[in-house]
Every structure is written in structure tokens, then in C-alpha cells.
Amino acid sequence: MKDILRAAMVIARRDFSAVIFTRTFLFFLLGPLLPILIGMAFGGLSEKISTDSLRPAAGLSMSPDETARMLAAREAVARRIGADHISALEKAPWPVDPRSLLAHSDAGYVAVVSGSVDRPVLTGQPSDIDRLEGDVRLIASAAKTRAVLPEVDVERHPVAQSVSGQTQARLTMGRAAQILIFLLTMLLAGMVLSNMVEEKNNKVIEILAAAVPIDAVFLGKLMAMLSMSFIGIIFWGGCAVAGLALLAGPGFALPTPAVGWPVFILLAVLYFAMAYCLLGSLFLSIGAQAATVREVQTLNMPVTMAQMVIFFFATYAVDHMGSAPEIAAAVFPLSSPFAMIARAAQDGAIWPHVLALLWQAMWVGLIIRMGVWLFRRHVLNSGAKRPLFRRRSAPRA
């Protein structure tokens, strides 16, 4: 066993150095940040477009006195429910035919409110009238009463914590941790596939198999890719913490998980490592059997879809603590890391995580052993390589 671990460390250092000390690794680190920045830019743009389209501005063509009453009522309503939740009103020429105002392209509003506070008239296209009618009715009602939403003092009784609110916050944290581990696993584990196929095509795997046990080759490659993944996670995590410190407000605070932050972070790291090793060992076994990159791509899709189904099963079980689906998700090895990290956010017991980590590590070893057995049987058997998909030869005439 010591010889296998020593040889695995040699293979791991070789693969780790071959990936880290390259220019492409820098692009690998910066690659996931670009979609996030683009998504934030488009998210702000889409929010602005959505706000402008859902709450369009209306022109206000009334007498000066009634215009002042409508604008004051609109500002009072906006202070209570938020400016984004009530349509804007803009002064328009008066007295003017509303239809002529809407005929100008530089008007800046989609409809015109005319008439009086007691009987407002809304002129515009039918779709715009449907969107603005409720807001205009609310503003006119507030302006008509002249007692625009009077202030009511709310007596505050703060408490240290709310059990229901804390439970919901921890459930949300568990789901967020599940999604984060799943995305990182799917993003990083796929590189193991192409790595094995490339070395098979270059005959490097045969040299390694002749020098060290094939178990050490599989384990070393998995360790190298996992170490490289941790470097990426440290870099991305640092960027996320820096961005959160800049964008989050002073009162922003994450809910405390049931096991506490130090233990939760440690368990998140361990469960990511287990999820990566489980999926990575499976991908490694597939890559060892495939003869070409095309076969890898063919097999990658069903494995990825199956992993997504398993993840959805784990997310369903997260809010059914102690139920049969939650226990099944914790026992099934491929969904166990996702189910157990959600349990760590909601339950303070530590011993289930010790058992789960040992159970997952055992399955990593079993999958590696199965992959090694298949590799010896189909690739190294009698020195002949057998592709995973064989073409049937045409019958002889």
C-alpha cells in the first residue's frame, strides 16, 4: 500500500506540474470570472429594462393645482411602497389634446392622464392603459382624499432570534452550498476524461503502467486534478469574498449554520473533495476505456445528465430531514455529498458526517478498483487495446 501511495504521489506531482506551470492555466482561472461579470452587466441591464417596461411613465396633462396634487400623492405612495413599484408621472403641456401629445416621438411617456383628480382620463394604447390604470387609480384616490397615506408609528419588539426564520435561512444556506459544490464538481471533474484519453493516444499511459502499478496511475491523476481544482477554488473564493465585501451593505450577514462556520467550511471542503473524487474516478474509468475523444464526448453526456438527476434528487430531499428520500440521498454515494452538506447547515450532529465521509471514501476506492480492472481487461490485456465501441466487420462474401 505504501508503494502505491508513493507512486501515486509521483504521478500526482507530474500531472500537477504539467498543468499548473502553463499559460493556459491562467486562462482557466480567469475563464469562470468572465461569464460572472457579463452576467452581472446583463443582469443590471435587464433589471432596468424590466423596470422601465413594467412601470412606464405617464404624462400628466391637468391644471396646475391638480397636477401638484397628483404629483404629491405619487411621491407619498412611492415613499411607502417604493419608487420601482409605482408608475412615474411627468408634467405634460395643458390644455392640449392627449392624442396630439402621444403623436410626438419625443414625448417621453406612453400614455397621458388628463381630466381631473375626481375623474381622471387615461389615453393610450390598450396594453399601456391596462398596465397604468391601477397605478393611476391609486394615485388619484390618494390625491382626492388629501390625506395621503398618513404615517403610522410601528412599535418595535426585537428578538435575538426567530426559530422559524433561522430554520428557513439554514435551509436556504444548505441549498446554496449544494448548488455551489455541484457546479464546481461539474466544472472541474470533466478535465479528467480528456487527460486520460490524451495520454493513451500518446502511448504515455503504457510507459506509466509498466513503471508503476496502474492503481497508482489512477489515484495519482485523481489527486493531481483535485489539487489543481483547489487552487482554482481558492482563487475564485478570494475574488468572491472581495466582491462581497465591496458590494454588500454594512448590515449584511450570513446565517450561522447548525454546525458552526469553522466546521461547516471544513465539511464543505471535504464534501467537495468526495464529490469530485466520486465523479472524477467515474470519469477516469470512462476515459481509460475510450479510445478517442469522440467516444469520451459520447459517454460524457449520459453521465452528466445522470449526475444532474441525482443532484435534483438531493435538492428535493434537503427540506425533508429524516424522511426516506433524505436518508436515501445520504446513503447513495453520488448524491451523498450534496445531501450531507445540506444536513450540516440544518443539523448540529457531527457523527453522521464522519460515517458519510468514510462511506464515500470507500466508494471512491471501489470505483477506482473497478476502473483499474476494466482498464487491465480491455486495454492492457495481452498488449492489445480494445476500444469501448467495436465496429462489426462486414460479412465476407
The full 3-state SS of the chain, as one line of letters, equals CHHHHHHHHHHHHHHHHHHHCCHHHHHHHHCCHHHHHHHHHHHHHHHHHHHHHHCCCEEECCCHHHHHHHHHHHHHHHHHHCHHHCCCEEECCCCCCHHHHHCCCCCCCCEEEEECCCCEEEEECHHHHHHHHHHHHHHHHHHHHCCCCCCCCCCCCCCCCCHHHHHHHHHHHHHHHHHHHHHHHHHHHCHHHHHHHHHHHCCHHHHHHHHCCHHHHHHHHHHHHHHHHHHHHHHHHHHHHHHHHHHCCCCCCCCCCCCCHHHHHHHHHHHHHHHHHHHHHHHHHHHHHCCCHHHHHHHHHHHHHHHHHHHHHHHHHCCCCCCHHHHHHHHCCCCHHHHHHHHHHHCCCCHHHHHHHHHHHHHHHHHHHHHHHHHHHHCCHHHCCCCCCCCCCCCCC
Per domain, the residue ranges of the chain are: 2-32+166-383, 53-145
Dump pLDDT digits (tens) for 259-312: 989 999 999 999 999 999 998 888 888 777 776 767 777 777 787 788 888 888
C-alpha cell at 137: 387609480
CATH code for residues 53-145: 3.40.190
Segment among 37-51, 118-132, 238-252, 322-336 with least mean pLDDT: 37-51
Name which of 171-175, 310-314, 364-368, 379-383 the model is least confident about.
379-383
49 or 95: which carries more pLDDT confidence? 95
| Range in 119-123, 166-170, 198-202, 284-288 with the lowest mean pLDDT | 198-202
Q: What is the pLDDT of residues 304-361, one digit of tens each?
A: 788 888 888 888 888 778 888 889 999 999 999 999 999 999 888 999 999 999 999 9
What percent of the chain is predicted at pLDDT more than 70? 80
33-42, 54-63, 149-158, 247-256: which has the highest mean pLDDT?
54-63
Q: What is the pTM of this model?
A: 0.72
d(CA 182, CA 176): 10
